[in-house]
Structure 1
Amino acid sequence: MESLNIFLLIGTGLMFTGLLLGSLSARFGVPSLLIFLVVGMVAGEDGLGGIEFDDFSTAYVIGNIALAVILLDGGLRTRLSTFKLGLRPALSLATLGVAISAALVGAFTTWLIGVDWRVGLLLGGIIGSTDAAAVFSVIKGAGVTLNERVASTLEIESGLNDPMAIFITLMLVGMLVDPDAQWGAGMLVTLIQQFGLGILLGLLLGAVISEVLLRVRSNEGLHALLLCSGGAMVFAITNLVGGSGFLAVYLTGLVAGNRRGGTGDNVLKAMDSMAWLAQSGMFLILGLLVTPSRLIENLPYALAVAAFLMLLARPLSVWISLLPFRFTWREETFIAWTGLRGAVPIVLAVFPLLAGVEQTYLLFDITLVVVLISLLGQGASLRFVARKLKVSVPRTTEPKQTVALAAPRDRYLMQFEVEDGAKAVGKSLGELGENERTPLILYRNTRVLSLSDDPKIEAGDLIAWLAPLSHKSGLSDLCHKLSSDEKRYYGDFSVLGKTPVAQLIAVYGVQAPPPLWQGLTVAEIFTKQVGKQTVVGDTVRVSGLRLRARSVENGTVVMAGLKLPG
């Protein structure tokens, strides 16, 4: 009993310390995942704790379960419109990009260290993919809102690129264990099987699980537990039949988060706790595996590989992978810099250790240093780089609460508190309603006012709206004062996407637009200039006026910020 209590005290003490420091790390711009990893290292055999832990099999199991929960949570938070927006470029990065990055790192490692080319390429495969836990956590904790095109591409890439990395790793491990084996079309079939079964079972079983949960209608805490256990089942089933469990569980979350109204705020909050528990426990265990004294032996090689990956291999693979798509150089540069490595490379580095491949401790040590450098260098600088490259957009004031409805599926119940000086103050409720947004409840001083009286809005009122998510920015604009960041970014005025450009020119007296733009609306100008996948933050200039997309629905601008010349 005493040993059990000591074990429990050590485990919970490490978890508490990691979570406490992780919650404070955002103030200093340090990724929380790095804190958990360092706490584990400090508690390890070379640290203050002196805990000897080298059970790679246990770490491998814990890492897989934790990654499944993190990917499930990421899928739940991905809107279907966002997924469609980022799918094609993310898929290119997750396949071609990983292959190019792995090949470049493999060639560099073979030349630098003088190892067998298969060992060098194995290292490239291990560190070739970005990590979902790192990407989701760091972007969320960076304190910036990335434009949707960049954010969706990064997040979906991290959810899709595991099959390619696992395929490369297992192929090279197999070649090193059995050099005489024949490798040909069978390996290509394995890759197709990984992707194909992962997609099929993820979508199919995700639909089944979400349908069951919708019919059960359990409370939020139980709903989150059922989601986690159901996602783990999908992960295990897919792996058993030879598919990619990581891809399947991410798609399961995507289906569950978008099917028949999606997942409510309270369920997402419960899932957020699950994801925190998973990533903190996983990185603490991985930190315990680290032996800092051994890392020093290969530190120069590891630093060289990390620099090559971050400054050459990743940027080149991103540039080639995104050639067919309409990304600006700023967006491509940011995506290249935010190729965060985390738990996935460390888990993959365990594969050759379990298989008994020679020189695997070298690979494991280099992988650990690459992850540390990535989290410290790329993760900590994400906020600064995003603002310098202008791929972030100002945060709008969020609703008090957002509730997804089962029907109509594209409508949400959003509640806003009206601030003093907001545009809505002094107007009647009837003036603010439109076809797609409807005020349902006006709450003032502990009582609900009758909408039939069409009351005038006052500061401090709470208004519940029924509207699509694309109207959130517009409703926030009505109920809250623009922050200085929003005014600087969007301009002092806002115009609807259906506003004719000729009308703006007539009002503000700038030069006439090109003949081809005559008769077009603001939304049509964006479609013509940017394309059908316009996102918030995209900018066009019309006859001296700067228009910046502020609210977008299905690639069409609903509202734009207007800045006058001079």
Structure 2
Amino acid sequence: MQDLVVNNLVLLSAAAIIVLGILSSIAAVRFGAPLLLVFLGIGMLLGEDGPVGLSFDSYIIAYLIGSAALAVILFDGGMRTRLSTIRSVAAPALALSTVGVLVTAFLTGVFAHYVIGFGWIVSFLLGSIVASTDAAAVFFLLKAGGLKLRGKVGPVLETESATNDPMALFLTLALLEFALVSASPNAANPLAGTLVLFFQQFALGALIGTAGGFILVWILSRMPLSGGLLPLFVLAAAIVIFTVSALLNASGFLAVYLAGLVLGNRPVRAFPSLLNFMDSSTWMAQLVMFVMLGLLVTPSKMADYAFTAILIAVFLMLVARPLGVLASLAPFRFTSAETIYVSWVGLRGAVSIFLATLPVLAHLPGAQLFFNLAFVVVLVSLVAQGASLGWTARRLKLALPDTAPAVKRFEIDLPGQQQLELVAYPVEEGCSYLTASYTPVWLKPVFVVRGDEVVSTEQAGPLTPGDYGYFLVPPKKITRLDALFDASATPLKTADFQGFAFNSDVALNALAEEYKFGLPDRYRELTIAQAFAERFGDVLRVGDRLELDTLDLVAVDLDGDTVSRVILELPEEPEWPDRIRPYVARIVAALRIGLRKWRTAKKPNQSPIETGKAAQEEHTQAGKADSARKPAQADKADSA
């Protein structure tokens, strides 16, 4: 009987933790607090140093639960990512997830060795553990702040955050092997297997993830799963892909993200309801994982590591991450503001704490050091960076209003096909559908619920507020339809962008000749509308941009599926060092000329040849100063 009471108390505690976490997430959205920090705080309050005093010290359970939770989070991130978005930012995102992680880990290791005094292997292992960013934390805070980022910043951060974990995991595992060798002289040298491990992590992980995604799509299109079983099957399949990859020494993180990417970009039955289920599953995974990590840590034991961890966190935020981003984005066309913001959005989170459990599981001597340091680094990052992401975006003028519609939508599954979804919307006063001058060609009205009656679209006539409209729509167009029925949406306007506005029937070739920018050959015979259609297909949205040589074209108005108006976005004014450089050169040249005149005056017997050389040098220096000044004046005129 006593055992039954204990079990019921455990069940009650677990349910109460979930309820408390959900309620706290509502408060986090309202007050802009980092969600993951709230969940960590709940775990720490419930832990052995908190008022509840629960004792939890099983790193193997933490590893298993963390693996499953991260698989769910990354799979959901892949499902919500469009391939067209990844294609436009693949190169810089890949550079950030490889070169950026390497540079960040290396610099943090050097700092830990020379400033903190750790050994080289311990220092680099610590740097690898805290080198990757956390996608879930970053995008929850941006969404909670109602922000949408300009340009390529948002897609780059999303893709980098989802793909940099494999590099951090590889570095951690490789350095952990070296640490075990140094701790045990009889252990085998891991040098020979390090390169093989690297290719296994990336190549095999990509292969398993892509194949698993296509197999999952094939099963969903042929198996008559009921609406309730379908999302559960997809969730379990994602964890299967993750664990199979891990068993084969491949990157489960990369595999499960790519599987979600394949699934999200293929026609799948009941996809909107599947997304809703994955959204709830992702929140639950974050809640369970971070509450568990909060339970695992003992705050009283972290006091000895707090000062050291804060030093590492500050160096990571202000030096290591910015230099890693600068090294990664240098070959690409990013403005100073974009580079600064990508540097600041180096939020540490779940993966860093998860990786810090690996030395403990490997029984590395002194492994508790890594977990305590990583935990404090994550706390500092969530507090310092997490609370300022929206403010920083606005200060750097990279923030746009969030145009994601907050609309009620109801989906009805149509078994036997994946090309159309049956959706319903409540018609509210002020929604764009009531005032639209056209009906999209891909939208097929089915019937209308008006009052207590169900009437055909012919009998109902135009929709009125209070109606419920039912439509057949392709799955990829549902987000576009959401915007038409959102009465509270604030659409992007031309005033939200800086540049010159053009209608989409203008030929790109003529625009390139007028504004002197390079144009790829495939665009030379196309209009602006045709170029956007070729680049984005049927997933075009307001704010999408066509990247050209030195300028960008931004879609600011749509007519159905076609862009109708664009902005030719102007380049930013040069930063202050570029503006003052010509004046500094002029002052230096004047000082040199004055110094030569003074030296000439000290030499009364100077020959005519020497006098001529001095005059020629004066003329040359003055010409250089004028040349340096003219571009600055030209830039100023262009800006005006």
Q: Which TM-score bucket, shorter chain as reference?
A: 0.7 to 0.9
Q: Which runs of 5+ in 2 are unaligned?
A: 534-538, 547-551, 570-639
Which position in structure 1 is the counterpart of 2:337? 330
Contact 2:422 2:473 in 1 (8 A): yes
Whole-Å Cα distance in 2 between the matches of residues 379 and 8 of structure 1?
33
Q: Does the residue aligned with 1:48 lie in a helix, a strand or coil?
A: coil
Which position in structure 1 is the counterpart of 2:409? 401
- Aligned pair partner of 2:57 in 54, 57, 71: 54
Contact 1:118 1:176 in 2 (8 A): yes
- Aligned pair partner of 2:137 in 130, 134, 138: 134
Contact 1:41 1:47 in 2 (8 A): yes
After superposition, the C-alpha distances for 1:100-123 in whole angstroms (9 at most, x for unaligned) are 100000000111211101101000
Distance 1:453 1:280, change over 3 A: closer
- Aligned pair partner of 1:256 in 263, 278, 284: 263
How much does 1:23 deviate? 2.3
- Aligned pair partner of 1:76 in 73, 76, 79: 79
Q: TM-score w.r.t. structure 2 length? A: 0.74
- Aligned pair partner of 1:104 in 95, 107, 110: 107
Q: Does the residue aligned with 1:51 lie in a helix, a strand or coil?
A: coil
Whole-Å Cα distance in 2 between the matches of residues 366 and 175 of structure 1?
20
After superposition, the C-alpha distances for 1:521-558 in whole angstroms (9 at most, x for unaligned) are 5558999xxxxx99854789xxxxx98523689x9956
After superposition, the C-alpha distances for 1:89-110 in whole angstroms (9 at most, x for unaligned) are 2221111111110000000011
- Aligned pair partner of 1:440 in 440, 445, 448: 445
After superposition, the C-alpha distances for 1:415-465 in whole angstroms (9 at most, x for unaligned) are 6666656676577xxx5146x544534737346776669955655666647
Q: TM-score w.r.t. structure 1 length? A: 0.83
Which position in structure 2 is the counterpart of 1:41? 44
- Aligned pair partner of 1:223 in 205, 214, 230: 230
Distance 1:224 1:472, change over 3 A: closer
How much does 1:200 deviate? 0.4
After superposition, the C-alpha distances for 1:495-531 in whole angstroms (9 at most, x for unaligned) are 88633389xx9xxxxxx9658899985558999xxxx
Distance 1:389 1:442, change over 3 A: farther
How much does 1:350 deviate? 1.1
Whole-Å Cα distance in 2 between the matches of residues 204 and 385 of structure 1?
40
Contact 2:270 2:421 in 1 (8 A): no
RMSD over aligned CA atoms reads 4.2
Whole-Å Cα distance in 2 between the matches of residues 482 and 60 of structure 1?
43
Contact 2:132 2:161 in 1 (8 A): yes
Whole-Å Cα distance in 2 between the matches of residues 98 and 426 of structure 1?
49
Distance 1:314 1:214, change over 3 A: same
Please state if 1:305 is matched with 2:308. Answer: no
- Aligned pair partner of 2:217 in 180, 200, 210: 210
Aligned residue type for 1:128 = A
Which position in structure 2 is the counterpart of 1:241? 248
Whole-Å Cα distance in 2 between the matches of residues 279 and 23 of structure 1?
14
Whole-Å Cα distance in 2 between the matches of residues 80 and 110 of structure 1?
41
Higher mean C-alpha displacement, 444-453 vs 278-287? 444-453
How much does 1:39 deviate? 0.8
Whole-Å Cα distance in 2 between the matches of residues 410 and 399 of structure 1?
23
Whole-Å Cα distance in 1 between the matches of residues 125 and 276 of structure 2?
38
Whole-Å Cα distance in 2 between the matches of residues 411 and 171 of structure 1?
48
Higher mean C-alpha displacement, 380-389 vs 413-422? 413-422
How much does 1:299 deviate? 1.3
- Aligned pair partner of 2:126 in 114, 120, 123: 123
Whole-Å Cα distance in 1 between the matches of residues 490 and 277 of structure 2?
33
Distance 1:280 1:400, change over 3 A: closer
Please state if 1:92 is matched with 2:98. Answer: no
- Identical columns (%): 40
Whole-Å Cα distance in 2 between the matches of residues 391 and 413 of structure 1?
37
Contact 2:407 2:485 in 1 (8 A): no
Whole-Å Cα distance in 2 between the matches of residues 402 and 320 of structure 1?
47
Q: Which has the larger radius of gyration?
A: 2
Aligned residue type for 1:340 = L
Please state if 1:200 is matched with 2:207. Answer: yes
Contact 1:69 1:228 in 2 (8 A): yes
Higher mean C-alpha displacement, 19-28 vs 191-200? 19-28
Whole-Å Cα distance in 1 between the matches of residues 252 and 56 of structure 2?
27
Distance 1:338 1:558, change over 3 A: farther
Distance 1:550 1:100, change over 3 A: same
Which position in structure 2 is the counterpart of 1:20? 23
- Aligned pair partner of 2:198 in 191, 197, 218: 191
Whole-Å Cα distance in 1 between the matches of residues 298 and 19 of structure 2?
22
Q: Does the residue aligned with 1:242 lie in a helix, a strand or coil?
A: coil
Contact 1:205 1:252 in 2 (8 A): yes
Contact 2:181 2:189 in 1 (8 A): no
- Equivalences for residues 156-167 of structure 1 within 5 A: 156-167=159-170
Contact 1:202 1:249 in 2 (8 A): yes
Contact 1:548 1:561 in 2 (8 A): yes
Aligned residue type for 2:321 = R
Whole-Å Cα distance in 2 between the matches of residues 402 and 85 of structure 1?
32
Q: Does the residue aligned with 2:17 lie in a helix, a strand or coil?
A: helix
Contact 2:322 2:344 in 1 (8 A): yes
Distance 1:2 1:453, change over 3 A: closer
Contact 1:399 1:415 in 2 (8 A): no
Q: Which runs of 5+ in 1 are unaligned?
A: 506-511, 528-532, 541-545
- Aligned pair partner of 2:278 in 267, 271, 283: 271
How much does 1:481 deviate? 7.1
Whole-Å Cα distance in 2 between the matches of residues 80 and 166 of structure 1?
25
